[in-house]
Amino acid sequence: MAGDDIDLLAAAEQLGVHYQTAYRWVRSGELPAVRVRGRYRLDPDDVAAFAERRDEPQPPRTRRPRGGFEPLADRMFNHLVAGDERAARSAVAKLVEDGVRFTTVMQEVLVPALRRVGTEWHTGRLPIWVEHQASAIVDRIIGDQHPTPRGRRRGTAMVAALSGDHHVLPTSMAAAALREDNWHVHHLGADMPAEELVRFCAEADPDLAVLTVTTPAVHDDVARTAARLSALGVRTLTGRPGRTLQELVDQARSR
Ligand code: B12
């Protein structure tokens, strides 16, 4: 190593991370370092190369379970209906640990299970409290799995549903999918007054606005708000029931 090597603190500063984070990377062997008299020394070129590698957006992982997702979605439905939060959470955690993207888990496991809950509730086979409990469990699962990808952000996005639409889960899923695809996301949730949403975008100037729609009653408001956001120069995407999170991610990427 050349004489201008640096210590771990300087490397952490160069990488813009906490000392402990840099230490963890050194210990795991991801960040090259040598020990001199009990202290780590690093080559600044190695640190710069490491920073560059981290900045590259990660290729999406595409693992699928051997038996496909359908049986997993059925089991998830059963866990949600039984209120078995531990089983629901650990089923999702296991898939993510096995390398399935969380966006895929949401779309292929949580969405079909929720749809089935909706159908059974609508036809009177399930009481409303089961639907409420199932929604609360899914809400916490999305919180558990809050994606924090590495690398450069693609841009800033705002995700919300307008006043009159109380379905917050599709907005949480859209926010999580965009986060997993390296967007910095402002998640404003559901039932958001159009006026406030437009004001937020005027001030925060996001690269992308995503309006999620689940209740048909808000369609006209959504169209009007999308037009106002576009007039502000904010690219706006509108989602509908049945549209997928992968479609959202693809549309967000294409300019
Ligand atoms: C949970 C739930 C509720 C909960 C919501 C709680 C919460 N924390 O979110 C509560 C109890 C509040 C609720 C209330 C109501 N609900 Co509700 N609800 C549901 C349920 C079971 C799940 C909703 C959900 O999360 N869906 C998300 C899913 C599963 O996927 P998705 O809709 O395809 O959404 C995808 C897209 O939006 C995509 N996406 C998001 N953003 C973007 C952006 C882009 C650009 C793209 C491409 C994609 C995209 O992401 C999602 C996942 O892929 C559904 C069942 C269902 N089929 O969805 C009923 C359902 C939506 N509800 C329904 C109804 C009728 C109501 C009520 C009117 C009931 C009532 N009489 O009060 C109220 C309306 C309240 C209101 N004003 O909004 C109906 C709607 C029917 C219709 N077409 O009008 C459904 C379909 C149930 C049914 N089968 O009848 N509901």
DSSP 8-state symbol, 159? E
pLDDT at 60: 55
Smallest CA separation from ligand 1 atom 20, residue: 118
pLDDT at 4: 87
pLDDT at 254: 86
Evaluated on CA atoms 29, 103, 171, 129, the torsion sign reads negative
Smallest CA separation from ligand 1 atom 53, residue: 244
pLDDT at 55: 76
User: Does this chain's domain 70-144 share its CATH topology with 155-253?
Assistant: no
pLDDT at 185: 97
Per-residue pLDDT of the chain (255 residues; tens, 9 = 90+): 556 899 999 999 999 889 989 998 998 888 999 998 889 999 999 999 999 888 776 655 557 788 899 999 999 999 999 999 999 999 999 999 888 999 999 999 999 999 999 999 999 999 999 999 999 999 999 999 988 888 889 999 999 999 999 999 999 999 999 999 999 999 999 999 999 999 999 999 999 999 999 999 999 999 999 999 999 999 999 999 999 999 999 999 987
Q: Where are the domains of the chain?
A: 6-55, 70-144, 155-253
Probe residue for ligand 1, chosen from 115, 123, 167, 213 as the CB with the greatest number of ligand atoms within 8 Å: 167
Q: For the chain, first and last CA: distance in Å? A: 44
Atom of ligand 1 nearest to the CA of 165: 78
Question: From the CA of 244, how far away is ligand 1's center (Å)?
Answer: 13
CB-defined site of ligand 1, < 6 Å: 107, 111, 114-115, 117-119, 122, 131, 135, 139, 164-170, 173-174, 210, 212, 214-216, 237-239, 241-245, 247-248, 251
DSSP element (H, E) containing 89: helix 85-97
Question: From the CA of 237, how far away is ligand 1's center (Å)?
Answer: 18
**Beta strand 208-212 with 235-239: parallel, antiparallel or unpaired?**
parallel
CA 150 from centre of chain? 13
Rg (CA), the chain: 22
pTM: 0.83
Atom of ligand 1 nearest to the CA of 177: 50
Buried b (16+ CB within 10 A) or exposed e, 31-58: bebeeeeeebbbbeebbeebeeebeeee
Q: Which CATH entry fits the domain spanning 155-253: 3.30.1330.20, 3.40.50.280, 3.40.630.40, 3.40.228.10? A: 3.40.50.280
**Which CATH class for the 70-144 domain?**
mainly alpha
For residue 38, the SS3 value is coil
Question: From the CA of 23, how far away is ligand 1's center (Å)?
Answer: 45
Smallest CA separation from ligand 1 atom 42, residue: 239
* Overall fold of domain 6-55: Multidrug-efflux Transporter Regulator; Chain: A; Domain 2 (1.10.1660)
DSSP 8-state symbol, 6? E
What is the identity of the amino acid at 23?
Y
